[in-house]
């Protein structure tokens, strides 16, 4: 099996290590780099995975998963550049960083795959969206699908769609959290105790998500099934439409896409 090094074992990096181990990879096939010795020791203790320096990661691992914050990328590229070779595959989880940045800073036509994950990776339910860089082959994409498939779903898009993807699934969980928060407030307004309102709304969200994922039905069909003539749901839907919730979502996601494009421009030169 392929050996994988996670460069930067923060929240997302740790979630990936944990998912890979649960998916059947052995600790010996995994390694990570980390700035703080204390955190590194804690991770090694918990997962049995060794901490290494960048040259060792490049030497011992075929796949290098970059999971540092985007603003911390420069030192990582500086460390990789003198030692990396085309037998390594770079998998970038860094929001907004284009594959061209890696291709420009790293020598030898190193293959790069860009990924937009999202935080449900922490519970094994990520939506990871992948795009090949110039030197990445179909086999590289298959390998990345297999790796990220241990922590959720994976889909391919052309890199030109990554800003839109960032706005949809990258930020997507935040929109659902926002909606849940507002619905819990509505429960408080109606006099329901907070703990009860939380339980009602979170389980409704979990149930609705499971129906969407498992039935294969269109969301419109599922909504119509609970919208009876002159019933309660249609009264609520009328208010949602009157307050422009659909238009607000379209505008919000477009704004997130625009911001992602703007942030990406910082890495163009």
Ligand X SMILES: NC(=O)c1ccc[n+]([C@@H]2O[C@H](COP(=O)([O-])OP(=O)(O)OC[C@H]3O[C@@H](n4cnc5c(N)ncnc54)[C@H](OP(=O)(O)O)[C@@H]3O)[C@@H](O)[C@H]2O)c1
Which C-beta is closer to ligand X: that of 74 or that of 239?
Answer: 74
Which residues, 21 to 50, sit near ligand X by CB under 6 A?
A: 33-36
Per-residue contact string for residues 201-220; x = within reach of ligand X by CB under 6 A: --------------------
Q: Which two tokens stand for residue 240?
A: 């949602």
- Give me the 122-161 binding string for ligand X, x by CB under 6 A, dash otherwise: ----------------------------------------
Q: Should residue 120 be labelled a site residue for ligand X when binding is judged by CB under 6 A?
A: no
Sheet arrangement for strand 63-66: 50-51, 30-33, 4-7, 63-66, 89-92, 112-116, 126-132, 152-156
The CA-atom distances, in angstroms, between 117 and each of 27, 139, 140, 216 are: 23, 20, 17, 23
What is the C-alpha separation between 7 and 20, in angstroms, rounded? 15
Per the DSSP assignment, residues forming a β-bridge with 50 are 31
Query: Which residues fall within 8 angstroms of residue 34, CB to CB, at 6 or more apart?
Result: 8, 9, 40, 43, 51
Please identify, among the stretches 22-30, 87-95, 135-143, 175-183, the one whose residues bind ligand X according to the rule CB under 6 A: 87-95
For 42, phi then psi, to 5°, come to: -65, -40
User: Is residue 72 within the footprint of ligand X (CB under 6 A)?
Assistant: yes
Nearer to ligand X, 55 or 75 (CB): 75
Cβ of residue 8: shortest distance to ligand X, in angstroms? Answer: 3
Helices 37-47, 11-22: axis angle to 10 degrees equals 20
Residue nearest to ligand X (CB): 10
98 touches ligand X (CB under 6 A): no
Nearer to ligand X, 32 or 89 (CB): 32
Interacting residues toward ligand X by CB under 6 A: 7-13, 33-36, 67-70, 72, 75-76, 93-95, 117-119, 170
């Amino acid at each position: 099996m392929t050996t994988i090094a996670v460069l930067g074992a923060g929240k997302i990096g740790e979630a990936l290590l944990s998912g890979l181990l649960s998916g059947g990879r052995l600790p010996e096939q995994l390694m990570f780099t980390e700035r703080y010795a204390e955190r590194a020791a804690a991770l090694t203790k918990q997962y049995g995975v060794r901490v290494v320096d960048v040259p060792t990661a490049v030497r011992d691992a075929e796949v290098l998963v970059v999971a540092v914050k985007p603003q911390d990328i420069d030192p990582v590229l500086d460390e990789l550049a003198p030692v990396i070779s085309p037998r390594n595959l770079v998998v970038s989880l860094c929001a907004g960083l284009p594959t061209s940045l890696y291709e420009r800073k790293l020598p030898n036509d190193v293959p790069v795959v860009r990924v937009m994950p999202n935080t449900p990776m922490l519970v094994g339910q990520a939506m990871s969206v992948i795009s090949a860089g110039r030197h990445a082959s179909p086999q590289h994409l298959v390998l990345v699908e297999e790796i990220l498939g241990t922590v959720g779903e994976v889909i391919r898009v052309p890199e030109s769609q990554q800003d839109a993807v960032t706005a949809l699934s990258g930020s997507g969980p935040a929109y659902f959290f926002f909606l849940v928060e507002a619905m819990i407030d509505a429960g408080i307004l109606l006099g329901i105790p907070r703990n009860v309102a939380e339980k009602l709304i979170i389980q409704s969200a979990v149930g609705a998500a499971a129906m969407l994922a498992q039935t294969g039905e269109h969301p419109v069909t599922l909504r119509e099934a609970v919208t009876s003539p002159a019933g309660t749901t249609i009264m609520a839907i009328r208010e949602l439409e009157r307050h422009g919730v659909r238009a607000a979502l379209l505008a919000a996601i477009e704004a997130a896409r625009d911001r992602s494009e703007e942030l990406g421009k910082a890495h163009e030169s």
